[in-house]
Chains A and B, each alone.
Chain A
Amino acid sequence: MKKLRLAIIGLTACSGCQLSLLNCEEELPGLLDLFEFHLFPMACSPALLEGEYDAALVEGCVSTPHERELLLELRKRSQYLIALGTCAVWGGVAALRNGEDREVLRQQVYGQSRIACETAEPQPLRSVVRVDAVINGCPPEKNELLGLLADLARGTLPAEIDYPVCTECRMRENLCLLTEGDKLCLGLLTSGGCKARCPSMAVPCEGCRGPVPEANLAEAMELYAQKGFDRITVLERLCRFYPEWKL
């Protein structure tokens, strides 16, 4: 079987998603039989963008003109382009600015000193290019990453996850941290697939996988209000991983 040619790159993000892949130590040698990691600057050198790719896995959001160009170039060269991790899918932490003006923030952080590179409003990949599939998570789950690769090896893509964190949380028979534990758990609004990793450890969901399809924000806000959480607190929490949550 012909090996699939992959490009794995990071834009503005912490590289944690790529690291999650590198952390699959047991599986990595086997992956080399199926894939040619042609462009993977974080793991292999040299790193040259050349030829065509069967799939490009892109971590991070787009926040500089250079990243925008790179992404467009990758899109042109790749049969499939996959948004890897919450920053790439939703903007994520890198796009967080609590509704503050960008210029004000720039002044606060950099003062009068010049920034070496030009930046723009951080955007998820889909604001710039067509995205064929997404892997949510901050960082993504190992089994989802490997599942994606297994799918790619067969010329297919993972299906969209359309259920929230609560679904898997109930399957695991956890105490409901919101209704029974009175905690600000964002599981109701957050895309599932993590097997309710945090609530299963009695830690409220932080919403790191971004919004679930058809999230019912109005009703959830009602519920949070009943539990004593005001709208601003909840929205600020939600916006950490998806800045565009709005009522």
Chain B
Amino acid sequence: MNSNLPVQATVVTICPMTPDTSMVTLRTEVSHPVAASFLPGQFLELSIPGVGEIPISYCGLPSSDGSIELCIRHVGHVTTALKSVVTGAAVAVRGPFGRGFPLSRYAGQDLLLIAGGLGMAPLRSLLLALLKQRKAWGRLLVLYGAREIRALLFANELMELQSCGEIELQLTVDHREKCLDGPPGCRVALLPALLEHLVVDPERTCAAICGPPVVYPYLLTGLRQLGLSDKRIYLSLERRMKCGIGRCGHCAVGTLLCCVDGPVFSGAELAGVEGALV
């Protein structure tokens, strides 16, 4: 296998989730590692022939039938072109790349998953993986914030998990649209505010964060105030990962390369690294 060479995949479904975000299901070769063996937090490179290639985090679980779930926001030129791609269209994928969330480190721990906006996508992958062995972990807390109610991703899925007692869930939106009733209990506040009254055991809690870069410093401060050490905090960084294998040079953060050293880093690894938390 050559990790420079994308394998063909087909678009199985493409379902709008919010006005600018879609859930895309692809199917590629059965048991190809790009679909069958990845860790939550890792990413793949998705190609639309003739348009380009972009890094996308996995949103689902490894599959044995070659299917891949991706949650995609239509903001760049490839993702915008993806909007007009139809079911059955040929795309291509390569991966998995990077270092994902360290599941083994989480064994027996309480887990705090904090997602902002599209950051829910990789954390959904993590959450699904954790739920597969629910007994291996303690509390599963999910804190999730989005711009507005209609931008909340997987809200129903999350609330269902909450109602059957699998997870504890807190939702928030930056501002509430007038005509929409939000999910019950959804607050109107910025994401870091959810940490303010949270009660966790800092000695047995690990946090996994994915969200827009701007909230990271605030979340880190909040988590430290809860007593979590930087070693217990894992963040996923978004950078321009073009090649995925540590060559093209675009995704460097300090002397770390996001595509091979990350994209998931512990807070301790990022301490003092210029440009990591902006």
Direct contact of A and B (CB under 8 A): yes
B84: interface (CB < 8 Å): yes
**Contact residues of A between 141 and 159, Cβ < 8 Å to B:** 150-151, 153-157, 159
Report the minimum CB–CB distance from B163 to chain A (whole Å).
41
Complexed CA–CA distance, A159 and B81 (Å): 14
For chain B, give the interface size range.
under 10
The closest CB in chain B to the CB of A157 belongs to B77
B51: interface (CB < 8 Å): yes
Complexed CA–CA distance, A231 and B81 (Å): 45
List residues of chain A with CB within 8 A of the CB of B80.
155-156
Complexed CA–CA distance, A153 and B84 (Å): 12
For chain A, give the interface size range.
under 10
B217: interface (CB < 8 Å): no
List residues of chain B with CB within 8 A of the CB of A155.
51, 80-81, 84
B50: interface (CB < 8 Å): yes
Contact across chains for B77 and A159 when beta carbons are under 8 A apart = yes
**Contact residues of A between 123 and 167, Cβ < 8 Å to B:** 150-151, 153-157, 159
Report the minimum CB–CB distance from B93 to chain A (whole Å).
18
List residues of chain A with CB within 8 A of the CB of B81.
154-156
Report the minimum CB–CB distance from B51 to chain A (whole Å).
5
Total number of residue pairs linking A and B with CB closer than 8 Å: 19
Complexed CA–CA distance, A156 and B78 (Å): 8
Complexed CA–CA distance, A125 and B51 (Å): 26
Complexed CA–CA distance, A151 and B84 (Å): 14
The closest CB in chain A to the CB of B82 belongs to A155
Report the minimum CB–CB distance from B139 to chain A (whole Å).
45
Report the minimum CB–CB distance from B90 to chain A (whole Å).
12
Report the minimum CB–CB distance from B195 to chain A (whole Å).
38
Complexed CA–CA distance, A150 and B81 (Å): 13
The closest CB in chain B to the CB of A133 belongs to B77
List residues of chain A with CB within 8 A of the CB of B77.
156-157, 159
What does the 1/0 interface line of B43-76 toward A look like (CB < 8 Å)?
0000010111000000000000000000000000
The closest CB in chain A to the CB of B49 belongs to A154
List residues of chain B with CB within 8 A of the CB of A157.
77
Report the minimum CB–CB distance from A31 to chain B (whole Å).
15
Complexed CA–CA distance, A157 and B51 (Å): 9
List residues of chain B with CB within 8 A of the CB of A150.
50
Complexed CA–CA distance, A66 and B51 (Å): 36
Complexed CA–CA distance, A157 and B50 (Å): 11
| Central interface residue in A150, A151, A155, A157, by most chain B CB within 10 Å | A155
Report the minimum CB–CB distance from B1 to chain A (whole Å).
28
List residues of chain B with CB within 8 A of the CB of A156.
51-52, 77-78, 80-81
Complexed CA–CA distance, A157 and B84 (Å): 14
Complexed CA–CA distance, A156 and B48 (Å): 11
The closest CB in chain A to the CB of B83 belongs to A155
Complexed CA–CA distance, A157 and B77 (Å): 7
Report the minimum CB–CB distance from B148 to chain A (whole Å).
24
Complexed CA–CA distance, A151 and B78 (Å): 11
Complexed CA–CA distance, A153 and B80 (Å): 14
List residues of chain A with CB within 8 A of the CB of B84.
155
List residues of chain A with CB within 8 A of the CB of B48.
154
List residues of chain B with CB within 8 A of the CB of A151.
51
Report the minimum CB–CB distance from B25 to chain A (whole Å).
21
Complexed CA–CA distance, A60 and B77 (Å): 26
List residues of chain A with CB within 8 A of the CB of B52.
156
Report the minimum CB–CB distance from A92 to chain B (whole Å).
26
Complexed CA–CA distance, A154 and B47 (Å): 13
Complexed CA–CA distance, A155 and B78 (Å): 9
The closest CB in chain A to the CB of B48 belongs to A154
Report the minimum CB–CB distance from A61 to chain B (whole Å).
27
Complexed CA–CA distance, A151 and B81 (Å): 10
Complexed CA–CA distance, A157 and B81 (Å): 9
Report the minimum CB–CB distance from B84 to chain A (whole Å).
5
Complexed CA–CA distance, A148 and B84 (Å): 18
Report the minimum CB–CB distance from A3 to chain B (whole Å).
15
Q: B residues within 8 Å of A by Cβ?
A: 48, 50-52, 77-78, 80-81, 84
Q: A residues within 8 Å of B by Cβ?
A: 150-151, 153-157, 159
With A151-B51, A154-B81, A155-B84 given, can you name 6 additional A-B contacts, CB distance below 8 Å? A150-B50, A154-B50, A155-B80, A156-B52, A156-B77, A156-B81
Q: List 9 A-B contacts (CB under 8 A).
A: A153-B50, A154-B51, A154-B81, A155-B80, A155-B81, A155-B84, A156-B51, A156-B81, A157-B77
Q: Which 8 residue pairs across A and B have the least CB separation, nearest first?
A: A154-B50, A156-B81, A155-B81, A156-B51, A155-B84, A156-B77, A154-B51, A154-B81
